[in-house]
Amino acid sequence: MKNNNIVSIIIPTKNSERFLENCLRSIKNQSYKKIEVLIIDGGSSDSTIEISKKYKTKILNYIPNVLRGKFDAPYKRNYGARMAKGKYLYYVDADMELSKNVVKEAVELCHKNGVSAIIIREDSFGKGIWAKAKNLEKRCYWGDDTQEAPRFFLSSVWKKLGGLDEGLGGGGDDWDLYQKLLEEGYSVGRIKSIVKHNEGDLRLKHLIKKRFMYGRDSLKYIKKRPTAAFKSYSPLRIGYFKNWKLIINRPVDAAALIIMRVAEYSSGFAGILYSLIKNEKFLEE
């Protein structure tokens, strides 16, 4: 491979000390070494910056001008992409841990097969019943195009597509970019290696709060892509039916998954209502 095949890994942070070191360690231990790491920090007051310096990352301070409680990660990811030098872009969350060959497999698939973007399977781990429920949910989504979206891109393709639609948020930005890739005829591949989300000591109230925040933005994606949004937001997801054996073999986790999803959908709907009541401009073009 050419010497300029750098992978720019973009990590948005804000008081991310709890998970960041494990994330950066997993990047340092990648079998592929031509990596630059960009930390896009939104004003951390904990040890996030110190941890970032320890791993010799490029630290960029950037605080998007968004309403409090709104999803700002797309702004940070786009900013990081503008500052990146790599031939490839890969945006990662601070609570993610990459298995050893993730970057290597993604680069090789792009290089050898002419693939423009890569979907990387996501797993999760953590403490408590809700972390187990989240693990079951993520495993049901493997191979489901309505739930998974690429995070690894050729930089040239990212730029041509204009990056993420910052106004969508709530996960809609990921799915929207995937749709743009397909509309423009770019090929999307998958690799075998996985990335794990560290859920920590996951609490239901945390999930409810997060889904409420996503709900405040979801109408924007529904308006922009109604057909794709229906498939992505539907509670009756194809992955549950395809993985029915996995579900019945984990009955306690499955019961918790049902409770968790009901709570998340309820809080997401509450977020939609809040956005309407507060007259947030979700219908802006």
Give one DSSP letter per residue of 85-114, joined into a string. --SEEEE--TTEEE-TTHHHHHHHHHHHH-
Question: Which of 6, 2, 1, 8 has the alpha carbon at shortest distance from 151?
Answer: 8
- For 167-187, write each residue's pLDDT tens digit: 887 778 999 999 999 999 999
Strand, helix or coil for residue 52:
helix
Per-residue confidence (pLDDT) for residue 69, from 0 to 100? 65
CATH homologous superfamily for the domain 7-277 = Spore Coat Polysaccharide Biosynthesis Protein SpsA; Chain A (3.90.550.10)
Strand partners, 190: 119
pLDDT over 70, % of the chain = 96
- For 193-222, write each residue's pLDDT tens digit: 999 999 999 999 999 999 998 888 888 889
Question: Which of 224, 221, 232, 211 has the alpha carbon at shortest distance from 145?
Answer: 232
Mean residue pLDDT of the chain comes to 92
19-42: average pLDDT: 97
89-98: average pLDDT: 97
- The structure's pTM equals 0.92
The confidence band for 1, taking pLDDT boundaries of 50, 70 and 90, is very low
Domain boundaries, the chain: 7-277
Per-residue confidence (pLDDT) for residue 167, from 0 to 100? 82
136-160: average pLDDT: 95
pLDDT at 117 over 60: yes
- For 252-274, write each residue's pLDDT tens digit: 999 999 999 999 999 999 998 98
- Calculate the CA dihedral of residues 80, 74, 11, 213 and round it to 10 degrees: 160
Per-residue confidence (pLDDT) for residue 209, from 0 to 100? 93
Q: How far is CA 192 from CA 25, 40, 131, in A?
A: 21, 28, 23
DSSP 186: -
67-91: average pLDDT: 90
55-82: average pLDDT: 90
Q: Which residue has the tokens 């019945």?
A: 248
Find out whether 237 and 140 touch, Cβ atoms under 8 Å. yes
The tokens describing 140, both together, are: 């049901």
Strand, helix or coil for residue 86:
coil
* Higher-pLDDT residue of 59, 145: 59
CA distance 183 to 26: 34
pLDDT at 285 over 80: no
Per-residue confidence (pLDDT) for residue 171, from 0 to 100? 74
pLDDT at 282 over 80: no
CA distance 163 to 155: 9
pLDDT at 140 over 80: yes
Amino acid at 60: L
pLDDT at 233 over 50: yes
